[in-house]
A and B are shown apart, each in its own frame.
Chain A
Amino acid sequence: EDQVTQSPEALRLQEGESSSLNCSYTVSGLRGLFWYRQDPGKGPEFLFTLYSAGEEKEKERLKATLTKKESFLHITAPKPEDSATYLCARARGSQGNLIFGKGTKLSVKP
């Protein structure tokens, strides 16, 4: 069965304390691995797409990496405004939609 598994479910950090979120997937022929940020009461907001193992993308304090089995979202020196739920997803065949993990809820305390 196609799966996207995220860990941990929740992560509490102090401001400035760097960490990583994990996303593992079970599919051959990955057609794209996506990271989203979701704030309470809002729709998911796109962050990154990764298409091949070894690929990396960065945006401010966030860096996404991809291997053949998993992706990491590294958060460097986080700030309270980085608090959100981070969602990982992979492309579902040629249907133009995604299979999502259950998310990691990140809380950054000042």
Chain B
Amino acid sequence: NAGVTQTPKFQVLKTGQSMTLQCAQDMNHEYMSWYRQDPGMGLRLIHYSVGAGITDQGEVPNGYNVSRSTTEDFPLRLLSAAPSQTSVYFCASTPLVDSPLHFGNGTRLTVT
């Protein structure tokens, strides 16, 4: 099993550009989530999903959209990138509510 796979690993965008960060898991996990990690701020929840077709906002959802059409995939969309969205983004999944999260290796995004 590959686990949680995130692509791309690195991305540079100009302000106002859009892009999609991809996340796929092959463990048939119901729960998936997106975090961003910034120096001194820790991991902060952007959006999450409790199953295919169901998504909700986390702590810092502004500027990001998500959808969950299949159990395996949970893409994160930036509609109009801003320098404040420069960060490292992690996708995670888990099979049960109180079980550990499995993380991907992240996407490092720079917005200039």
B90 with A96: CB separation less than 8 A? no
Interface readout for B83-99 with A: 1 if CB under 8 Å, 0 if not? 00000001010101111
**A51 and B102 alpha carbons, distance in the complex (Å):** 18
- Chain B 41-75 residues near chain A, CB threshold 8 A: 41-45, 48, 50, 56, 58
Across the interface, which residues of A come within 8 angstroms of B42, CB to CB? 87, 100-103
A46 with B97: CB separation less than 8 A? no
B92 with A46: CB separation less than 8 A? no
Number of interface residues of B (CB under 8 A): 30
Contact-residue bracket for chain A: 20 to 34
Across the interface, which residues of A come within 8 angstroms of B40, CB to CB? 102
**A45 and B4 alpha carbons, distance in the complex (Å):** 12
B98 with A32: CB separation less than 8 A? yes
Distance (whole angstroms) from the CB of B102 to the closest CB of chain A: 7
**A102 and B37 alpha carbons, distance in the complex (Å):** 10
Distance (whole angstroms) from the CB of A73 to the closest CB of chain B: 15
Taking A49-B100, A97-B33 as known contacts, 14 extra A-B pairs with beta carbons closer than 8 A to each other, sorted by chain A number, are A31-B97, A42-B106, A43-B103, A44-B103, A46-B101, A87-B42, A96-B30, A96-B31, A96-B50, A97-B31, A97-B58, A99-B45, A100-B35, A103-B42
Report A's interface with B, CB cutoff 8 A: 31-32, 34, 41-46, 49, 51, 87, 89, 91-92, 94-103
16 A-B contact pairs sorted by A residue (CB < 8 Å): A42-B105, A43-B90, A43-B103, A44-B101, A46-B102, A49-B99, A51-B98, A89-B43, A91-B98, A96-B30, A96-B48, A96-B96, A97-B33, A97-B58, A98-B101, A100-B42
